[in-house]
Amino acid sequence: MPTQPTIDVMTAIRLGQLLNTTYDTLPSDLTNQAGQKISVGGTDYRVVTTIYANDLSTDIDPSRSDDEVSIGLICQLRSVSTAQSE
């Protein structure tokens, strides 16, 4: 049996906290959050861009697919040198 990879539990928790923070962005908020600083669990991130998509249509409202929604953020870990230069 192959060796299982080790899991850094603290990193997993921190990334889960980051994910929860991104849920604060409403789907209707189409503002690009690029450049925003996010601090989670003592770790700083910079938003690279916001991810957009068309909403999912349903049988009840097929026109929803015409609506754009915000579905997430692409974040980058801010290094010490990056944070000092900002």
Please state, for a pLDDT cut of 70, what percent of the chain lies above it: 92
Averaged confidence pLDDT in the chain: 85
This prediction has a pTM of: 0.71
Three-state SS at 40 = strand
Report the distance separating Cα 69 and Cα 65, nearest Å: 10
Residue-level pLDDT at 82 = 52
Three-state SS at 17 = helix
The domains of the chain are located at 9-85
